[in-house]
Amino acid sequence: MIHSQVKSINRSAVSRHIDRQKSPNRPSPLKRPRAKTPTRPPRGHGIVLIDIGNTHTHIGFSRESRILQTTDLHTEDWANERNITRTRDWIGRTFKPDGACLCSVVPSATPAVQQALQELFGFKALQLTPDTLHGIGIDYPNPTTIGQDRLANAAAAKHHFGCPSVVVDFGTAVTFDVINSQGNYVGGVIAPGLAAMTDYLHEKTALLPRITIREPRRVIGKNTEEAMLVGAVHGYRGLVRELIRQLHQELDINAMPVIATGGYARLMARRIPEITAVRPTLTLEGLRLTWMAHH
């Protein structure tokens, strides 16, 4: 009986082997065809994000879903070829971005940046304006006077934190941008920036030094530099807290997200409990979202 079973198994194996030989469309198991390597590169090599500020130009490189890396350049260097070379070297000659999105508060620098993108990559950037803004409404008498970086901040804040919410941007100026419960940008506050204020004191006085902004060691300064630091850091924390309190009052709400961004965001947020999140790349994120809304 065992012998019969062996014969039956052998006959079945032979039968399957003959069937494979008779079938012209079925590949031999010993010569399985290899999968072809795609010759076309995957769609999208990234997006260049450019925030042209008064002092620095912040540049980011992102994929569709997130910002991968950032760098800072001096805005004044767009007047020569330094930033063109730095941008090319930073992004790398092997990357081929799909496009760019920018915002600018320095109109004189914008054409130079657009020309640099054209020379480097063969395209110009989508510029964030009230007309190209997506995802947030504007309830403001003259939208064209709103800083483009402030619109980018508001768009990113609403997308990630909802509304109502407030963005505090610690840049050359300290700005507050307010998104109301209906999801509209409704205005804000502008105050001198920390470095701008301390530089002004240095430039307009005979004895006050130029200082580097950092955390003061004590509240009572024991020398001129310490006294200036206390005025800048602790003084601005008081300013921010009081303005947030008044914004709560005017919006008639008890709590809302307050997002800090800009160069001094982490330093200032350490002792401002009203700040609920720190996002150093919030402006670039607003540009990324704008680009995605148009593509």
Per-residue pLDDT tens digits for 182-237: 999 999 999 999 999 999 999 999 999 999 999 999 999 999 999 999 999 999 99
Considering only residues 14 and 257, tell me which one the structure prediction assigns the higher pLDDT: 257
Q: Do 44-127 and 136-295 have matching folds?
A: yes
Give DSSP secondary structure letters for 140-173. Answer: -S-GGGS-HHHHHHHHHHHHHH-SSEEEEEESSE
Mean pLDDT within 42-70: 86
Q: pLDDT tens digits for 122-156?
A: 999 999 999 999 999 999 999 999 999 999 999 99
The 3-state secondary structure of 121-144, one letter per residue: HCCCCEECCCCCCCCCEECCCCHH
How far apart are the C-alpha atoms of 278 and 270, rounded to whole Å? 10
**Would you name the residues annotated as active-site residues?**
149
In degrees, to the nearest 5, what angle opens at C-alpha 94 toward C-alphas 91 and 97? 60
Is the pLDDT at 250 greater than 90? The verdict is yes
Q: What angle do CA 162, 179, 194 make, to 5 degrees?
A: 110
Q: Is residue 201 within 8 Å of 228, Cβ to Cβ?
A: yes
**How many other CB atoms are found less than 10 A from the CB of residue 5?**
9
Predicted local distance difference test score (pLDDT) of residue 94:
59
**pLDDT in the model for residue 12:** 46
Torsion of CA 45, 48, 49, 53, to 10 degrees: 160
Residue 92 is predicted with a pLDDT of 72
Predicted structure pTM score: 0.82
Domain coordinates in residue numbering, the chain? 44-127, 136-295
Rounded Cα gap, residues 175 and 106, in angstroms: 16
Q: What pLDDT score does 270 carry?
A: 95
Average pLDDT over the chain reads 87
Angle at CA of residue 128, ends 127 and 130, nearest 5°: 130
Q: With CA atoms as reference, report the closest residue to 102 among 128, 79, 84.
A: 128
CATH number assigned to the domain covering 44-127? 3.30.420.40
CATH 3.30.420.40, applies to 136-295: yes
| Inter-axis angle of helices 110-121 and 82-91, nearest 10 | 50
| Sequence-separated (6 or more) residues with CB below 8 Å from residue 88 | 120
* pLDDT score, position 93: 63
User: Which residues partner with 246 through β-bridges?
Assistant: none
